[in-house]
Structure 1
Amino acid sequence: MNMTQRRTREKAWERPFLAEPEHVAALRRAIRLRLTRWDLPALADAAELCVTELITNVITHVGVSTPTWIAVSMTGTHVRVEVSDPDAGALPTPLWATSTQEHGRGLHLVAAIADRWGVTPTDHGKTTWCELATGVAEPMSSPVDGPRATRAGALLTLYSARSTASTATSKLAFATAEAAAIDLIVDVLHWLDAHGCDPDDFLDRAQSRYEAMLGLGAGQLLHR
């Protein structure tokens, strides 16, 4: 893939996971949610089935608990689903399974459902992908994060600069300030979700850090 092709297919959502059967349902739900947010709910069933078969292919032929990566993006007028694994060995091909065989139909299902599919060797293994037509006439770019995630991203940039400027919060009524703080947290959760992070995990880690800071002396807290 050349750089021009790569730039036209920026990944809009991606996540690492371990290839284990118990993770498939959560990833299916994540794909359905993502397509619904992109106003493409009609593709959810087909995308879920493709995701299931691509992950099952890794579990069956590479191994349970293999470190794997899933990505969903827009490429032209298609939704592209990718599942990457570290095995650079034999590339997967459809098997002509008989009616009594338990495995072998997965990639045939993908080929039947998707408009196109394939396997691409990478520097770290391989990527098995498929593309589903959206039904729109014009090429679609990767969906944006949305206004809440954009606001949170801008605010996080300010936080990362560690500005020492003070804010005159005393002029705000407490109820207004509290509502603004809640709205800020909601925006940050939207930003995390838009970038493939788990908001629940973020809240757990933030709570742990907050509790750890409370265990410090007052002087230490003032200088962090």
Structure 2
Amino acid sequence: MLPLTLELLALPKVVPEVRAMVDGDDLRLCVSELLTNVIRHVGEATPVTVRITAAHGGRLRVGVTDPDPRVWPVLREVADGAESGRGLGIVEAVAVRWGVEQSLYGKTVWCELQGAGAGGVAPGGASAGTC
């Protein structure tokens, strides 16, 4: 049941809660990575909006909006054995495309997923709300 919009604080405990609201491994993975990037690079307890909507061509669009337009996501080459830094690489690997939309008051990091692995909102998942 799309669209799904959640306004929440980016805390480690909400990542599995949001994952449980959606179906599909790729969708769960992207939601987790985008939320985790906010926690790690913008800060824990940052207010965010998670949106999952239908996009052109039967795709799903996942967007995570945070209030800091200056902290820009960077796709990195990660050394073997590194314990972090793979988030956007994972998103790039499973998404059809991804990007960043910047505004005066924040930014949205988004990706689009295609096909059966994209999933949707899990039965019983919220259609809008606050975690």
TM class, shorter-chain normalised? 0.7 to 0.9
In structure 2, give the amino acid aligned to 1:45: D
CA distance in 1, matches of 2:102, 2:92: 19
- Between Structure 1 and Structure 2, the one with more strand by share is 2
Higher RCO (C-alpha 8 Å, min separation 6)? 2
Please list the CA deviations of residues 176-220 of structure 1 after superposition, one character each: whole Å capped at 9, or x if unmatched: xxxxxxxxxxxxxx9xx44x137xx9xxxxxxxxxxxxxxxxxxx
- Tell which structure's C-alpha radius of gyration is larger: 1
1:93 to 2:88 alignment: no
1:75 to 2:7 alignment: no
Instruction: Determine the structure 1 residue equivalent to 2:41.
Output: 61
CA distance in 1, matches of 2:30, 2:65: 14
1:51 to 2:52 alignment: no
Residue 53 of structure 2 contacts residue 62 of structure 2 at CA under 8 Å; is this kept in 1?
A: yes
Which residues of structure 2 form unaligned runs of 5+? 117-123
Give the secondary structure class of the aligned counterpart of 1:95.
coil
1:1-224 equivalence runs, <5 A: 12-32=3-23, 44-76=24-56, 77-134=58-115, 193-194=126-127, 196-197=128-129
Residue 42 of structure 2 contacts residue 71 of structure 2 at CA under 8 Å; is this kept in 1?
A: no
CA distance in 2, matches of 1:123, 1:101: 34
**Offset, 1:123:** 3.5
Give the secondary structure class of the aligned counterpart of 1:197.
strand
**Offset, 1:134:** 3.0
Instruction: Determine the structure 1 residue equivalent to 2:119.
Output: none
Please list the CA deviations of residues 100-157 of structure 1 after superposition, one character each: whole Å capped at 9, or x if unmatched: 322111000000000100011023200000001136xxxxxxxxxxxxxxxxxxxxxx
CA distance in 2, matches of 1:67, 1:55: 11
Q: Give the TM-score, by structure 2 length.
A: 0.85
Give the secondary structure class of the aligned counterpart of 2:3.
strand
Q: Give the TM-score, by structure 1 length.
A: 0.51
- Between Structure 1 and Structure 2, the one with more helix by share is 1
- Counting aligned pairs with the same residue, the percent is 38
**Offset, 1:90:** 3.5
Give the secondary structure class of the aligned counterpart of 1:71.
strand
**Number of aligned residues:** 121
- Moved >2 Å (runs of 4+): none
In structure 1, give the amino acid aligned to 2:3: A
